[in-house]
Amino acid sequence: MAVPVFDALIHAPGRLQICAILSAAEAEFAVVRDSIKVSDSVLSKHVKALEEAGYVAVRKAAMGGRQRTWLSLTPAGKKAFVAHVAELERLVKVASSLSV
């Protein structure tokens, strides 16, 4: 059996969740933060890490006066996430033959 190999940057629970959310659609900073239940600082740091890897794009937009931050996956981010998911799928296949 071939053992899956993961992208550590994406695999970390917090960032995997962030990518999962962003894979569906662009989302606001606050929405993501509340979805994964972390502090501002933690999300900010995860986003920075993903941004530096070229996986996430940050867009600052004025929304009713106040500035809001929108997050989205870049093409490279989608590619990396999909590749990671493919590895997870291999693992899922192995597990799906299990009797519980």
Partner DNA sequence: TGATAACTTTCCAGATTGGAAAGTTTGCAA
Partner DNA sequence: TTGCAAACTTTCCAATCTGGAAAGTTATCA
SS3 27: strand
The arrangement of strands across the sheet holding 27-28 comes to: 27-28, 66-73, 56-63
**Taking CB under 8 A as the rule, does residue 94 contact a copy of itself?**
yes
CA distance 50 to 38: 16
Site residues for a copy of itself, 34-73, by CB under 8 A, read: 35-36
* Interacting residue with a copy of itself among 9, 17, 28, 44 (CB under 8 A): 17
Identify any residues that bridge with 57 across adjacent strands, giving them in sequence order. Answer: 72
Near a copy of itself by CB under 8 A, which window of 7-15, 39-47, 50-58, 61-69?
7-15
**Taking CB under 8 A as the rule, does residue 23 contact a copy of itself?**
yes
- CA distances in angstroms from 58 to 1, 12, 27, 77, 97, listed in the order given: 39, 20, 10, 12, 41
- Of 67 and 97, nearer to DNA (C-beta) is 67
Binding site for a copy of itself (CB under 8 A): 1, 3-4, 6, 8, 11, 13, 16-17, 20-21, 23-24, 35-36, 75, 78-79, 81-82, 85, 88-89, 91-92, 94-100
